[in-house]
Homo-oligomer: A and B are copies of this chain.
Amino acid sequence: MTSGANPRSTVKPFAGPPLAQSKTDRLAALHAALSPHVATIRTRRGQNVTLTLMAEGGEAAFIVRTGVLTVGVTMPGTSRQVVAILFPGDVLCSGFVPREADGTLTPANAGELWRLRWSVFAELSAKDAAVASFYHEAIDRQMACRAIHVAAIGQFDCRQRVATFLLELALRTGTPSPSGGGVVFDMPLSRIDVADYLGLNADTLSRTMSRLRSSGVLNHSERNRVVVRDLRALGALSPASRALIALYGDRVL
């Protein structure tokens, strides 16, 4: 099958968990194909990215180059729900966000975002198998991630939810800590953002984090930084640890 007859059939990542390492590489490789068509948006914390394109309201596609963003919806009378957290390599189409639901795309970070017209992206996908497979891998990953997220807020208690969230961040953005066995990462989101992501009250979240600290799983540390003292112990607290490791575990573990 690697005979080269059909480039798509040589794309292996579908068969196994995508390698996070290769994700940035692929993104860089796409630069050549996409750059003539993308508008680069420099993001900064709190800014609100408009989801639809200006002219004629066509659908837009966004590709996260660097940084972290949150996708939120707010239904009347309820508080905001963060529906997804986007990391580099993730894709968002404006059609993913329901209308009439006050959807927002908000950078948590300084970073870079590519925007292009959806129709252009679709055309490129049809022509270039690399673009298509990048997109489909991204969709696969994000769908799987959302499934885990739904299971977490639907079934987990607050400690399990927080552990799941921290584990996801550790796996996706963490680096092994100098004092072995641990993992360190920046917390790109505010307490309220995290609470909105987990379907928890900010107070409850704070309490839960405090308990994790006093039970020795986390370390006290600076404002926007998390030190996981024992990643294995954190994983034991999350029913989704095996699933998360299958999705993202190729970086740290």
Does A247 touch B at the CB level, under 8 Å? yes
**Interface residue SS majority, chain A:** helix
Taking the closest CB of chain B, its distance from the CB of A27, in whole angstroms, is 19
Are A101's CB and B240's CB within 8 A? yes
Are B95's CB and A140's CB within 8 A? yes
Taking the closest CB of chain B, its distance from the CB of A171, in whole angstroms, is 13
Are B155's CB and A81's CB within 8 A? yes
Are B96's CB and A8's CB within 8 A? no
Does A99 touch B at the CB level, under 8 Å? yes
Copies in the complex: 2
* Contacts A75-B240, A78-B155; A247 near B122 (Cβ below 8 A): no
Taking the closest CB of chain B, its distance from the CB of A33, in whole angstroms, is 14
Residues of A at the B interface (CB closer than 8 Å) are 6, 8-9, 11, 14-15, 17, 57-59, 71, 73, 75-79, 81, 83-84, 93, 95-101, 103, 118-119, 122-123, 125-127, 129, 132-133, 136-137, 139-141, 143-151, 153-156, 160, 196, 198-199, 239-240, 242-243, 245-247
**Given A83-B147, A153-B153: 18 more A-B contacts, CB < 8 Å:** A8-B122, A8-B123, A15-B57, A73-B148, A75-B240, A76-B242, A81-B150, A96-B139, A96-B140, A96-B144, A98-B243, A100-B242, A100-B246, A101-B240, A126-B129, A139-B139, A150-B150, A153-B199
Those 10 A-B pairs whose CB atoms lie nearest each other, nearest first: A154-B199, A95-B140, A75-B239, A96-B143, A100-B242, A81-B151, A101-B243, A98-B144, A99-B246, A78-B155
